Amino acid sequence: MKMKSTWILVFLFVFGCGPSDEQKASEAFNQGVDYFAKGEYDKAITKSTEAIRMNPDFADAYCLRSNAYLAKGEFDMAIADCNEAIRLDPKEPLTYFNRGSAYINKRDFDKAIADYSESIRLDPKKAVVHFSRGVAYFNKGEFDKAIADYSEAIRLDPKIAVTHYNRGLAYFNKGEFDKAIADYSEAIRLHPLDPHLTLIYHNRGLAFKIKGEQAKADADFKKAKELGYTPD
């Protein structure tokens, strides 16, 4: 899962007849933002690099370039840019989120949790950061902490189906099958066209089967198969 975000700043300075380096850097940065929004990540990297060359202290340009590297799956490059952005601006929550996302893709869950926690400390109202830390905790087998983060993400943004599904997985792993079923059902209700529905129906079927509700389990297994589910 690739989490993409960006930050836009526009600097307006006028010196004499021509644009300053800060203006040129800002123009290159904004062009990079546009390229990133269109999914043209190589061009976004080129433009953010131009902005950094003209203004080496431009923290947001490093942050933008880290986003583009993340989108390309170049996680070490993203981490390097985040490190520099944090050095320049240690109070920007987005940069810690970006670096945490790079670490989680490298399966370095402890470092991801540390960065997500700092992002949350700086700005506790971003559901996606709580969700992401929940993913890291889940992968460490710390299901109670995962559930706590997913629950906070749901409180902040209750209409994201995948958060309910992920919390359902955590409940399932704790053996709390009624709660897992409730979360799987809510995920289906919120996003009936979700491409992951085959897996959700299958997993809800497993929970019903464990509870001894075979008819409901069979119905879910049938629905999963109709939607194209195939066992690994």
The domain ranges of the chain are 19-103
- Percent of the chain with pLDDT strictly greater than 90: 85
Mean pLDDT for 99-128 is 98
Is a pLDDT exceeding 90 seen at residue 93? yes
The whole-angstrom separation of Cα 167 and Cα 137 is: 11
Q: What CA–CA distances, in Å, run from 192 to 69, 156, 197?
A: 32, 21, 7
3-class DSSP assignment, residue 221: helix
Q: How confident is the model at residue 196 (pLDDT cuts 50, 70, 90)?
A: confident
Per-residue pLDDT of 170-185, as tens digits, reads: 999 999 999 999 999 9
Contacts from 133-140 at CB under 8 Å and sequence distance 24+?
133/100, 134/163, 134/166, 134/167, 134/170, 135/1, 135/104, 135/166, 136/100, 136/104, 136/109, 136/112, 137/109, 137/113, 138/166, 138/169, 138/170, 139/104, 139/107, 139/109, 140/109, 140/110, 140/113
Is a pLDDT exceeding 90 seen at residue 101? yes
Is there a contact between 63 and 92 (Cβ–Cβ < 8 Å)? yes
Mean pLDDT for 95-122 is 98
Beta bridge partners of 18: 15
pTM, 2 dp: 0.87
Is a pLDDT exceeding 50 seen at residue 18? no
> Domain 19-103: which topology?
1.25.40
Is there a contact between 104 and 70 (Cβ–Cβ < 8 Å)? no
Mean pLDDT for 118-137 is 98
